[in-house]
């Protein structure tokens, strides 16, 4: 069976006519028979699409043909099936919901995966800061990462006070593919943090180049995959909520009214039939 290729991308740039761009891009994606989710806003574009390799190459070539996106970065992964079941290209107020009320004109310096690996290799003094939500970091994070207790990215400003102790330190921020770090790093700089950096292309870009190195566990994904391995020897750092053995397997409870996100190993998941409790299992069996 042919592998499915996914391509993730974003760019902050002021679009002159986001409505027209959204309509045309949706039409193009449908014509190309791609699946995925793309958000278009006045501030730019953010999305993930999937298809066979030829389809993805055509899509990337198409997006690069626009002057606004001639230098956009694509991060690819391979999977057995489409991460999204449908094709969505939607108009939004923001390409990642933050409500920070801050522009991305002054952001953290972009560090390549090579730059970050060198910092680790040389054991440099730096703070590696996870800009993602707590449940994402629970199953995977960079070595020695400072993680946040937030459930939603819009709550990131609430962490600023706790981060004050790192104000004069070298900070390297990261997220899944980079889009959240643009806003989060801009927020830190606006609050007086001096040496703010961000990982270019995020976790996905790093593990594509340096699997099985400094990222520990699995990488959470906001699609049907839920998470991806970060190398050929990915070790689980989280614990199954049922048997308490190591696991990085997230499930959503099968009971639609519950839909609880929880870590459950494959063995327990088989026993509990994709549900989180006896109550939900009984409902699902009826």
- Structure tokens that stand for 136 in this block: 């994402």
29 is catalytic: no
Q: Which of 175, 253, 265, 276 is flagged as catalytic?
A: 175
CA 234 to CA 183: how far, in whole Å? 30
Computed over its alpha carbons, how large is the radius of gyration of the chain? 20
Q: What angle do CA 208, 52, 177 make, to 5 degrees?
A: 35
Do 69 and 45 meet the contact criterion of CB atoms below 8 Å apart? Answer: yes
Cα distance between residue 275 and residue 7, in whole Å: 31
Looking at residue 202, the DSSP 8-state letter turns out to be: H
Q: Is 41 helix (H, G, I), strand (E, B) or coil?
A: strand
Catalytic (active-site) positions: 175
């Amino acid at each position: 069976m042919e592998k499915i290729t996914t391509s993730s991308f974003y760019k902050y740039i002021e679009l002159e006519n986001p409505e027209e761009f959204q309509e045309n891009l949706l039409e193009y994606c449908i014509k190309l028979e791609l699946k995925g989710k793309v958000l278009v806003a006045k501030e730019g574009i953010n999305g993930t699409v999937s298809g066979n390799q030829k389809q993805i190459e055509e899509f990337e070539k198409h997006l690069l043909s626009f002057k606004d996106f001639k230098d956009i970065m694509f991060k690819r992964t391979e999977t057995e099936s489409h991460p999204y079941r449908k094709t969505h290209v939607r108009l939004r107020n923001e390409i990642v919901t933050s409500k920070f009320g801050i522009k991305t004109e002054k952001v953290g310096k972009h560090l390549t995966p090579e730059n970050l690996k060198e910092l680790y290799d040389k054991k440099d003094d730096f703070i590696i800061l996870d800009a993602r939500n707590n449940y994402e970091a629970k199953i995977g994070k960079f070595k020695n990462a400072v993680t946040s207790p937030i459930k939603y990215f819009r709550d990131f400003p609430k962490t600023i006070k706790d981060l004050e102790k790192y104000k004069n330190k070298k900070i390297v921020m990261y997220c899944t593919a980079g889009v959240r770090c643009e806003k989060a790093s801009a927020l830190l700089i606006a609050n007086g943090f001096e040496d703010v950096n961000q990982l270019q292309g995020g976790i996905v870009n790093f593990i594509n180049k340096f699997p099985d190195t400094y990222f520990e566990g699995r990488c959470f994904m906001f699609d049907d995959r839920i998470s991806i391995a970060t190398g050929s020897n990915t070790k689980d750092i989280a614990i199954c909520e049922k048997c308490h053995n190591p696991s990085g397997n997230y499930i959503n409870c099968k009971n639609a009214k519950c839909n609880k996100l929880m870590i459950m190993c494959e063995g327990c998941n088989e026993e509990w039939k994709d549900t989180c409790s006896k109550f939900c299992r009984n409902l699902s069996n009826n």
